[in-house]
Amino acid sequence: ANLNKQLETLNKVISARASASAPIWVSSSCSLLHSPHSLKPEAGHLDEETLGWLSFAEEKIEEVAILAAAAINRSSVEAQLQSNAAKVLSRQQSERITRPAVQQRLASLNETFYSRQAPFNERQQVQRSALQLPLFPTTTIGSFPQTAEVRKARAQFRKGALSTAKYQEFLDAETRKCIEWQDEIGLDVLVHGEFERTDMVEFFGENLEGFVFTKKGWVQSYGSRCVKPPVIFGDVSRPKAMTVDVARFAQSCSPSKPVKGMLTGPVTILQWSFVRDDQPRSQTAGQIALAIRDEVVDLEAAGIKVIQVDEPAIREGLPLRKSDYEAYLKWSVDVFRLATTGVRNETQIHSHFCYSDFNEIFTAIKGLDADVITIENSKSDLKLLGALEVHGYSAEIGPGLYDIHSPRVPSVDEMAARFAALQKYIPAENLWANPDCGLKTRGWPEVKESLINLVAVAKDARKQHA
């Protein structure tokens, strides 16, 4: 924190309450539950300059103590205040923070960067001709099981016990097996499985400029699950392609079926990171969007015909005040479109949304202008249908047919009943069959049985519709 600036605020409060007899308490603005514990483990991992720009829970408590002491006797903590001021100035002046080329590129955009070449109904016809998918196409959301073998190989690689060549050989073998199995059971649009990724945000942050990663910066996500978010400290750009080689190899494993290029969207990368506070979040999201846009265009050039840009975090990014919803959703839609509109009409853009109150954001989802969305449905007991009734949806959509967060294998009859209910609200030519979410946390036995049942549901539905 900028302690001198905060001290000015504190002194104003003290002056305003000069006649009050009750004491003034100095504290953090909220719980420190979602701050990493301490910067001490980061010494030697992060450079000294970056360390000076950060404060975790322990450091925030120390800052509170300094502010309280300064309010009573500034001279007692003058050295700490001067040290803090030097770090604040260092951050303001650092060329690592603000890079003119990135700022200028974002500022120079015009409205053409936010629209596809043609409206959806025209793109849909072109994509149907290009992809030749059956009625009720089947797909998965992206990830496949991160088995003990996958985690062990990654750990060995990071420790230097497994060479880059051997690790890549392992990843290629896992990818090929995953794709060949999907093809074998009859899925229509395949994925590579994401075995090279630990996390859908961390992977991209590691490949973008403007991010740093902590060694022990763990925070609670939910329950006993913890995550280690990246830190966005400066302007974001993409120095080189991030997923193109993997996508090209994956597509080569399936000459007859499309394999999706898999990316995380700009809002989700923003929401699941610690974000710099010296510029609007919308501006940082725009920078991320341009980096993802470059990747989308490169994937298309590499022959990838279906590209998925996931945005599961749009709903959780809603501001606390409802009066701020409209502005937030406006720039959230804009950055998604900025990331995805640089492709030709025949390239099919997908997006995925996790557990949310979709009624609050469904108008924004429509505004994304994605060709296909896959969306949580089974766990919320078909509440999505209410949003469809209220708002309507004219593009293609795949409401999840089963909950991947449970190891339970859904039966064909169970999923068929859910699929039949969906057909009352969604035109058959626009309806996809897929799970609720990615399969990373599941085991292969239940994944195989569940997806075989899902494919059977789609095939039966085609027969009934013929």
Rounded to 5°, angle at Cα 347 from 346 and 350: 130
Per the rule left: phi > 0, alpha: psi between -120 and 50, beta: everything else, 210 is left
| Of 45, 391, 405, 465, catalytic | 405
* DSSP state at residue 408: P
Give the whole-angstrom CA distance, residue 245 versus residue 222.
34
Q: Is 73 exposed, middle or buried (0-12, 13-18, 19+ CB in 10 A)?
A: exposed
Give the whole-angstrom CA distance, residue 17 versus residue 36.
34
352 is catalytic: no
Task: Identify which of 67, 108, 103, 105 has the alpha carbon closest to the alpha carbon of residue 84.
Answer: 67
How does strand 231-237 pair with strand 209-212? antiparallel
Give the whole-angstrom CA distance, residue 83 versus residue 270.
30
CB contact at 8 A, 411 and 350? no
Give the whole-angstrom CA distance, residue 200 versus residue 224.
19
Give the whole-angstrom CA distance, residue 383 versus residue 381.
6
CB contact at 8 A, 258 and 347? no
Q: Which residues pair with 308 in a beta bridge?
A: 262, 350
CB contact at 8 A, 246 and 175? yes
Catalytically active residues, by annotation: 405
